[in-house]
Amino acid sequence: MGKKEQSTQKANKRVEAVLQLLRKQGPLSMKQEKFCNNGCVERFLRAKGDNVKKAAKSLRACLSWRESVGTENLIADEFSAELTDGVAYVAGHDDQSRPVVIFRIRQDYQKFHSQKQFTRLLVFTLEVAIATMPKKVEQFVLLFDASLFRSASAFMNFLLSSLKVVADYYPSRLFKAFVIDPPSLFSYLWKGVRPFVELSTVTMVVSSLDFEDSLEFDDFTSYPRAASLRFDPSSIKSTAKVGSCSSSRFSFTVSPHIDSLKPWYLSLTDTSASKVGPTSPSPLGPSLISPLNARSLSFASPIARSTPISARKSLFPSTPLPQRPTKVGGAGASNPRTSRPSFLQSPALFFRRESHVSSKTQNTRESFSPFFKFYRRPYDEMIYRSKMRPPLGGLISIVKRRHMSVSQRF
């Protein structure tokens, strides 16, 4: 008997021990028996460190919580407004067939909805994600779009409540969680709360601006709604003339390439016939608009305008300006006040945290880059409804998967 078979037998014995403890506490219904399969019990055991008593207690609490929430009675008709606006939905599946769930909840959502309604929406979205999982896939990915929040504390409450539900009632289900574009003060709050959050090790804070220039795909062409949002310059007949326009102070130039990223260019070069300031050629280049020649010399006499700046007298002739000391020895450099510390005097100087922070940021960037396309992909209600299996789909007709292309499925 190999080691793999022995470990499988031990795992099966632990699963049977957990189920026996559950049946001793009370009989299980048919739906509860179906929910407590081997995979579910193994996830609870994995989350509790293979402790049978703790896993049985947590699983019993999960069963009573699911009964109080009413997970078996959740349908899409209850969240018709949320499905229309794309508040919470399954965006697709990654390369490992894990479902990617996106939450785009506004800050004022909790003002008009109770905590119970939000919990039901969260559970409904997670149940849809679990129903779309293929065999041998047990985890999902969560993307929290925090750009719609202005208050860091409000988003922190929303995030902690969501992670607590996932940690307590969906153990070992979360692969990664990304917080995208949070408020400015969120990072400080997260540093203080993170040691007390169970799923903090798989939760990362990222910024979408770091990935705007790293798009190496064109994933939006297969979506008609995304393609319709693009601007077509040929659809509008423009009567504007492409060329340059100059005034007495500025020069405005338009590039003939319409599809360029920055078709205009604003120059501060003085293009007028009567230039303000010195008109003689200067070694510093052409005369530019500056506070020195535009404001101080605006009302000066023609003689003062023609006088070079270097030849003018100082404001106080009786007070000579200090002269710069000349260097002795030509290439000699001034010695600093204190000598550079050696390794023995201050070893901490040679072990800065910049490299550690940069490596951590690089790891976060690499972890989020496969899921950035789901964040940028536009929301389509019909595609999301097609992922719902009965009875989650509700009374609204569901688009059959055979009418969808492969790109729309994932």
Q: What is the domain count for the chain?
A: 2
| Residue 298 maps to a domain | no
pLDDT in tens, the chain (410 residues): 567 787 888 888 999 999 999 999 888 889 899 999 999 999 999 999 999 999 999 999 999 999 999 998 899 999 999 999 999 999 999 999 999 999 999 999 988 899 999 999 999 999 999 999 998 899 999 999 999 999 999 999 999 999 999 999 999 999 999 999 999 999 999 999 999 999 999 999 999 888 876 555 445 444 444 433 444 555 555 555 445 554 444 455 555 555 444 455 445 554 444 444 444 554 444 444 444 444 444 444 455 455 554 444 444 455 555 555 555 555 444 555 545 555 455 444 444 454 445 577 778 888 999 999 999 999 999 999 998 988 777 655 444 444 444 444 44
| Residue 198 maps to a domain | yes
Comparing CA positions, the residue from 63, 59, 64 lying closest to residue 46 is: 59
> What does the pLDDT look like over 179-196, one tens digit per residue?
999 999 999 999 999 999
Same-domain check for residues 193 and 77? yes
The three-state secondary structure class of 139 is coil
| Residue 366 maps to a domain | yes
What CATH number is attached to the domain comprising 198? 3.40.525.10
Same-domain check for residues 57 and 137? no
Same-domain check for residues 168 and 26? no
| Residue 290 maps to a domain | no
> What does the pLDDT look like over 287-337, one tens digit per residue?
444 444 444 444 444 554 555 544 444 444 555 555 555 555 554 445 555
Distance from C-alpha of 132 to C-alpha of 92, rounded to nearest angstrom: 9
| Residue 195 maps to a domain | yes
The three-state secondary structure class of 147 is helix
Last residue of a domain, one of 69, 90, 119: 69
Comparing CA positions, the residue from 44, 52, 57, 48 lying closest to residue 10 is: 52
| Residue 250 maps to a domain | no
Last residue of a domain, one of 69, 94, 117: 69
Percentage helix, strand, coil for the chain under 3-state DSSP, each rounded to 5? 45, 10, 45
Same-domain check for residues 109 and 183? yes
| Residue 56 maps to a domain | yes
Residue type, 240: A
| Residue 301 maps to a domain | no
Q: What is the pTM of this model?
A: 0.64
Same-domain check for residues 81 and 210? yes
Q: Containing domain of residue 94, as a range?
A: 73-225+362-409
